[in-house]
Structure 1
């Protein structure tokens, strides 16, 4: 039942947002009682965090698998990682960020930030920082990966713009003066 609750909650949270999703909607879709839901979770915020934890583990595993492929050049790795997020990541990023910043407690917001940093950003930092052709100071990697996420995030909600996503990654990596 635990995983079934998370499956339904993930679909609702990612399509409607935290505020618009009620525990009643979750229980109605599963045809269970509120007490049955609260047997597994303390409250709605606990359900949301559990959804994010499970999602981040899935994302991290896939991003790290791509980044570990030694035979791929940096642009191919970054592109495959971004395409994975675009194709497989069930999220309205703007909605998710609003939920995290405005609707959740400070404690849960911080825990989700740590999940994102480890599961989403760090695989990109690792790819960028380990490429022998890129020379940057160590302290720049988190910022650089954050800027890359700004580029990628604008393409996450649709797979219709894969070519634009790939072109944007190329521009990010090589700039306007690419030969």
Structure 2
């Protein structure tokens, strides 16, 4: 039952956000009572954290595989990583960040940010650090990855299947300025 709760909660949290998802919705979809949910989780935020923890582990493992793939170069690895996130974890990044910042207690916000930093941003940071010689000397890698996530946000919700991730990554790496 624990995994079933997480499966349904993940679908709801990723499509509706934390605030718009209720434990009542989860129980209705599962066809169980509220006490069944509360047997496994004390409160909704615990369900959210468990969903994010499970998802983060999977995301980190898969993103790391792209980083370590010796057959791809930097640009193709970035494209593959963004496409993977889009397929595996379609979400509205802005809704998720708003929920985390405004709907959860500070301690939970901190835990979720640490989880996101290590499992989502971590592989991208590692990839850029491993390719440091290809980057401008003045580039702050952590800032560059943060900017990449801002850029990616509009691609991750899967609302426009015609979005060209390859072009976005090309512009991210090469810019539009002709020197």
Q: TM-score range by the shorter chain?
A: over 0.9
How many angstroms apart in 2 are the aligned matches of 1:167 and 1:116? 25
Aligned to 1:11: 11
How many angstroms apart in 2 are the aligned matches of 1:147 and 1:93? 13
How many angstroms apart in 2 are the aligned matches of 1:42 and 1:178? 56
How many angstroms apart in 2 are the aligned matches of 1:15 and 1:37? 20
How many angstroms apart in 2 are the aligned matches of 1:162 and 1:66? 21
How many angstroms apart in 2 are the aligned matches of 1:37 and 1:84? 31
What is the number of equivalent residue pairs in this alignment?
Answer: 177
How many angstroms apart in 1 are the aligned matches of 2:77 and 2:129? 13
Report the CA distance between 1:161 and its aligned residue: 3.1
* Residue pair 1:155, 1:161 contacting (<8 A) in 2 also: no
Gaps of 5+ in 1: none
| 1:100 counterpart = 2:135 | no
Report the CA distance between 1:4 and its aligned residue: 0.1
Report Cα offsets for 1:31-56 as digits up to 9, x if no partner. 11111111111100100111111111
1:11-160 matched pairs, under 5 angstroms: 11-131=11-131, 132-136=133-137, 140-158=140-158, 160=161
Gaps of 5+ in 2: none
Identify which range, 107-116 or 144-153, moves more after superposition: 144-153
How many angstroms apart in 1 are the aligned matches of 2:152 and 2:162? 11
Other structure's SS at 1:129 match: helix
Q: TM-score, normalised by structure 2?
A: 0.92
Report the CA distance between 1:136 and its aligned residue: 3.1
Report the CA distance between 1:28 and its aligned residue: 1.2
RMSD across aligned C-alpha pairs, in angstroms? 1.7
How many angstroms apart in 1 are the aligned matches of 2:87 and 2:163? 9
* Residue pair 2:92, 2:153 contacting (<8 A) in 1 also: no
Other structure's SS at 1:154 match: helix
Report the CA distance between 1:71 and its aligned residue: 2.3
Report the CA distance between 1:134 and its aligned residue: 2.3
